[in-house]
Structure 1
């Protein structure tokens, strides 16, 4: 991959224009683009329009494109001889509740000094407005130096990421010809926990399920019926308790089909990161790792599938005491999945397991709560090595290929619907408080994030 000969000028332009870039981000952050609340629909569209206008002023062919929900923003540059790149981000934000826990109004963003350096405080600062604007600012500086934007760019900014991306897959299908590129880029992830730059190369998938067990036609007096009548809470917990064995392995038939072992190279790279499970747990008041025996901490959170009980309810849980056998019990459970695990097959295996534990005169019903496949990127593509070198040059620390325990379904959508691998490069920090009161984005992350994208564009575009 060739390196652009005028890269230093682009980087100098970014440094000189940082204060203006921060002010543009603050303007963007003032728009309360909360996608989950219909009361903010006009604000979500206002944010889309703001982005379109910014991109059009830079020279992109930019448009706001309607969906049955919130709009998409799509911007393009003419094709060139190099690789075409699709950059994805989202301009919608999470709700701000509980408002009383904010130290300042969430949509009145400001730069604040902290012991770790200045931060940009406000809803959406890190997730994802600040992150997506690092790429926009890199393009701005590129245009100022070169007189033209990089060729072959497609920018896709979504307005429903925080509300389930209901219309993203249909939009990708309907506009595949316009959106397909050689490689996708996403800036919605973090650096490694110690501040090392990173490229996320694998994401776990997600399966969610709600289980409802019903027995008698009403709550029963435990003195009259206890020991004779079925207790749906007991039925449910018996079923769930046997999904894992004493070694932490999931017992569902076929559950581990498609779950790959780490390569020796990736295992060595992850061990070199020096992850300390006890220290990681100490941040939330715990110390003892549990889980699948014989696995390292990073394997368990990045490369191994899980089964978790996320919520369970039934019977009387108010003040005082009520001795009843409840008529109903319910639980919400989820699996994080890896490799090529089949979400449909695992869902059916879970349902069959629960049914086998339900007595004949009880009933059980299931409610699916979505599923997404895991994503594993092909790091043999030379673009990954080029981007890793660019990040290392900018941050002065060896960039790492890492995994992520969470799910970013759009990366899988790009692979499945558009045939593109994705590089996930983000500059967030573990303490950014995304989805929480007092969200922030380090000014260093914003500034060096834009410089990083300039270096990556120079290497790839």
Structure 2
């Protein structure tokens, strides 16, 4: 092992308790970005971070935005590959408070049958993860007498409220923030605890549709069979979005969808994912979906169409025989490869319109659109980081996908022109966004050690 790395790892081990104390202090700040009552607390968290980073020798600035501050720090320029590190310091609301076993902003180290955990709001999402960066930088500075060169840190205060200021900020500061690769810590390990690098994220299109017929609800005895029924029209349109093979029927829907590479297929097969076991956690057992695709393909590498909500007519107690005047549904599409979100939206709207009778009307409400993010793992940095993670955790790291969306990765790609390496140490049972959120102490300590290894390998 590199002697300098060995010393950095030893410094991290020796400073474990002090690092935990710093994290607990950070967690005590109730930086809830969605609640205006906590605006000053979000600012306090930004100031707390600036003090920490200034102490380490970073050149740190707090940038005001129309919402909450951005904390930007950088180390001295050098000859190394520039790297951008991203995390967020805001947290989710704590409601319902009565379901917490201890006050959410009075964090503590707790013993559990699975080991020690850090209990408190933001422990895993994302303050604990963010601090794995900071503690790795601290140990490096203590050993080498200076920080690694060519580092840029971007810590956001609005992630939990939709990041409304992020894209404008990235565009305005693109020259200063652009690096060769972004490191994102707001993610997790694989479900069985092995380290992982998330290399692809599905995109998202959200669409609401409202169909209107008569000017009021109609008596089904008087009008049934003659007048248009918006619920029936909507149901027929939605039912034809997929065929009997589980494929989406919209014209051009699969343009840009890419099959797995041989390397990813080997990696994913080696994970031993058990779909029945996964579904058993929600009281299901039978996988459905696109014929001929493996379960992990379907949740990570294939696009979807899902009905998220449907409403209309009378659904209260008792019975009311009406033809409703209106019916509505919310539909989402998860995208992969290079699928174009706006083309998908247009194709969906055309599909619905084709089912609308002449004397009915339809309107659409957009709810976001973002493309998928697929990282270029041919960049040697990915293999280097994968090897470093494996050395720390004692088992081979995996390239994995994510069924959900992490918009920041797409923003970095589209606005700053760089790929992201998503490496985090969260676990499936961390209860993020829920009462009694926790972060394993082992994830925190080995997470910092992992970043020390990755930094050393990439310098």
User: What's the TM-score bracket when you normalise by the shorter of the two chains?
Assistant: over 0.9
**Shift in Å, 1:4:** 5.1
* Count of residue pairs brought into register by the alignment: 459
Distance 2:99 2:226 in 1: 49
Q: Do structure 1's residue 219 and structure 2's residue 229 form an aligned pair? A: no
**Shift in Å, 1:109:** 1.0
Which residue does the alignment assign to 1:380?
A: 378
The partner residue of 2:125 within 127, 148, 155 is 127
Distance 1:451 1:164 in 2: 31
Which residue does the alignment assign to 1:63?
A: 61
Listed as ranges, the matches of 1:209-358 within 5 Å are 209-358=207-356
The partner residue of 1:106 within 104, 107, 119 is 104
- Aligned to 2:284, the other structure's residue is in SS state coil
- Aligned to 1:82, the other structure's residue is in SS state coil
**Shift in Å, 1:353:** 0.2
Q: Do structure 1's residue 150 and structure 2's residue 148 form an aligned pair? A: yes
**Shift in Å, 1:221:** 1.9
Deviations 1:16-73 (A, max 9, x none): 1111111111111111111112222111111111111111111111111011111101
Which residue does the alignment assign to 2:198?
A: 200
Distance 1:126 1:64 in 2: 23
Worse-superposed segment, 103-112 or 397-406: 103-112
Distance 2:317 2:225 in 1: 25
RMSD (Å) for aligned C-alpha atoms: 1.0
Distance 1:323 1:100 in 2: 41
Q: Which blocks of at least 5 consecutive residues in structure 1 are unaligned? A: none
Distance 2:102 2:327 in 1: 41
- Given that residues 118 and 443 in structure 1 are in contact (C-alpha distance below 8 angstroms), is that contact kept between their aligned partners in structure 2? yes
- Given that residues 185 and 425 in structure 1 are in contact (C-alpha distance below 8 angstroms), is that contact kept between their aligned partners in structure 2? yes
Distance 2:140 2:279 in 1: 42
Which residue does the alignment assign to 2:364?
A: 366
Distance 1:105 1:255 in 2: 48
**Shift in Å, 1:318:** 2.1
Distance 1:231 1:296 in 2: 39
**Shift in Å, 1:284:** 1.2
Deviations 1:87-116 (A, max 9, x none): 000111111122221111111111111111
Q: Do structure 1's residue 116 and structure 2's residue 110 form an aligned pair? A: no
Q: Do structure 1's residue 6 and structure 2's residue 4 form an aligned pair? A: yes
Distance 2:355 2:283 in 1: 35
Distance 2:184 2:347 in 1: 33
- Given that residues 4 and 459 in structure 1 are in contact (C-alpha distance below 8 angstroms), is that contact kept between their aligned partners in structure 2? no
TM-score, normalised by the number of residues in structure 1? 0.98
Distance 2:316 2:15 in 1: 58
TM-score, normalised by the number of residues in structure 2? 0.98
**Shift in Å, 1:322:** 2.0
**Shift in Å, 1:5:** 3.4
Which residue does the alignment assign to 2:17?
A: 19
Which residue does the alignment assign to 1:418?
A: 416
Which residue does the alignment assign to 2:87?
A: 89
Which residue does the alignment assign to 1:28?
A: 26
Q: Do structure 1's residue 170 and structure 2's residue 165 form an aligned pair? A: no
Distance 1:91 1:216 in 2: 50
Which residue does the alignment assign to 1:445?
A: 443
Distance 2:118 2:343 in 1: 44
Deviations 1:433-461 (A, max 9, x none): 11111111000000000000000011113
**Shift in Å, 1:271:** 0.6
Worse-superposed segment, 100-109 or 285-294: 100-109
- Given that residues 189 and 427 in structure 1 are in contact (C-alpha distance below 8 angstroms), is that contact kept between their aligned partners in structure 2? yes
Distance 1:243 1:63 in 2: 49
Distance 2:101 2:222 in 1: 54
Q: Do structure 1's residue 51 and structure 2's residue 63 form an aligned pair? A: no
- Aligned to 1:417, the other structure's residue is in SS state helix
- Aligned to 2:233, the other structure's residue is in SS state helix
- Aligned to 2:320, the other structure's residue is in SS state coil
**Shift in Å, 1:319:** 2.2
**Shift in Å, 1:201:** 0.6
Q: Which blocks of at least 5 consecutive residues in structure 2 are unaligned? A: none
Distance 1:235 1:166 in 2: 36
Distance 1:5 1:361 in 2: 78
Worse-superposed segment, 225-234 or 201-210: 225-234
Deviations 1:377-420 (A, max 9, x none): 11111111110111000000000011111111111111111111
Distance 2:90 2:235 in 1: 38
